Amino acid sequence: MEKATIRANVKDRFWKRYIDVVRNEVVPYQWEALNDRIPDAEPSHAIENFRIAAGESDGEFYGMVFQDSDVAKWLEAVAYLLEEKRDSELEALADDVIELLGRAQQPDGYLNTYYTVKEPGKRWTNLRDNHELYCAGHLIEAAVAYFQATGKRRFLDIMCKYADYIGTVFGRGEGQIPGYDGHQEIELALLKLYEATGNENYLKLSQYFIDQRGQQPHYFDQEKEARGETKPFWYDGGYRYHQAHIPVREQKQAVGHAVRALYMYTAMAGLAAKTGDESLKQACQTLWENVTKRQMYITGGVGSSAFGESFTFDFDLPNDTVYAETCASIALVFW
């Protein structure tokens, strides 16, 4: 099944007002924040991290392990604005950032400022916690969106090189890492990259990450042992937090971190649609019924617990302590 390209202009006064706010206020403000130019705000350092990784600035990595994803999300937002209406000044800013990403990319295709700057030599040693594949996924999504909006291939080529490298690192073959991401994202991003390029390797890699999740022996235990880590994971339940407690096709109830879960369900649905995989489709249907009929507020909010930003159990939908993170609602829209 091929995804249709939909070109639409939103003219409704309610929604158009919010789109204009994003274009005129939000994205420019975020650009200032990414460049540490907001008075009295904690520095982002996200752009500066890429400059350091590119060897163009001195300093240390600063921020969360997933700081790169802030730049990716900004670029993706810019792409959607450019698709609605081209803006030469905004496009030039984005092009400059994309060139910076290209300069920060390592010769083998790797692109992650945390490990390039702060922990070189330790790539892929903590997939459970450190968001390498999550950041890669958001960068891939941004690259696809930018290509679709502008027709420019530079960003897409950068991320294809990274995805090709990831495909050599992960898998069940000799010398490959039989692991998967701690925070799902790359699965759905690879499907978008497949749609944009027609390269079936990206489809197969997405399928690998989905099907490898939750298999025994458990990869998160193996990498934890390799790190010499002895303390138990903070969220009880055999990696239910990561939806990695059992293989995804056997899962019948939404559990754990809501955004992680819904990103994965989105990828599962997309993969089932593209491959005709009936068992994956049935798993999605079962999970959909559980989320929408047993774990969703009347407002559409999901993920009721602040502890772990997570799903809990059927019909546990308190009003006084509701969490229902915005990111989870957005992920539900994707699904």
pLDDT recorded at residue 102: 99
Counted residue by residue, the chain has a size of: 335
Instruction: For residues 6-23, give the mean pLDDT.
Output: 90
Instruction: For residues 68-80, give the mean pLDDT.
Output: 99
* In a domain? residue 269: yes
306 is in which domain, residue-wise?
Answer: 251-335
| 2 vs 197: which has the higher pLDDT | 197
Total number of domains constituting the chain: 1
pLDDT recorded at residue 232: 86
Q: How far is residue 243's CA from residue 183's CA, in Å, rounded to a whole number?
A: 9
* In a domain? residue 311: yes
Q: Any idea what DSSP says for residue 65?
A: T
User: 199-241 pLDDT, tens per residue?
Assistant: 999 999 999 999 999 999 999 999 999 999 998 888 877 899 9
In the structure, what pLDDT confidence band is assigned to residue 1 with cuts at 50, 70 and 90? very low
Any residues with CB less than 8 A from the CB of 291 and at least 6 apart, and which? 254, 262, 265, 302, 311, 332
Mean pLDDT of the chain: 97
pLDDT recorded at residue 9: 83
pLDDT recorded at residue 211: 98
Q: How far is CA 297 from CA 174, 260, 293, in A?
A: 46, 19, 9
* In a domain? residue 272: yes
pLDDT recorded at residue 258: 99
User: 172-196 pLDDT, tens per residue?
Assistant: 999 999 999 999 999 999 999 999 9
* In a domain? residue 13: no
Instruction: For residues 247-259, give the mean pLDDT.
Output: 98
Cα Rg, the chain, nearest whole Å: 20
Instruction: For residues 30-38, give the mean pLDDT.
Output: 98
Type and span of the H or E element at 187: helix 186-197
* In a domain? residue 266: yes
Residue closest to 61 by CA, chosen among 106, 112, 110, 126: 112
pLDDT recorded at residue 54: 99
* In a domain? residue 191: no
**β-sheet bridge partners, residue 170:** 177
Q: How far is residue 34's CA from residue 90's CA, in Å, rounded to a whole number?
A: 15
* In a domain? residue 108: no
Across 24-156, the runs of DSSP E, i.e. the strands, are none
Instruction: For residues 121-136, give the mean pLDDT.
Output: 98
Q: Are 161 and 107 in contact (CB under 8 A)?
A: no
User: How many CB atoms are closer than 10 A to CB 226?
Assistant: 10
pLDDT recorded at residue 4: 56
* In a domain? residue 265: yes
Collapsed DSSP state (helix, strand, coil) of residue 61: coil
Residue closest to 281 by CA, chosen among 271, 290, 272, 289: 272
6 has pLDDT over 70: no
Locus of tokens 């369900």: 265
**β-sheet bridge partners, residue 33:** none
User: 135-178 pLDDT, tens per residue?
Assistant: 999 999 999 999 999 999 999 999 999 999 999 999 999 999 99
Instruction: For residues 79-95, give the mean pLDDT.
Output: 97
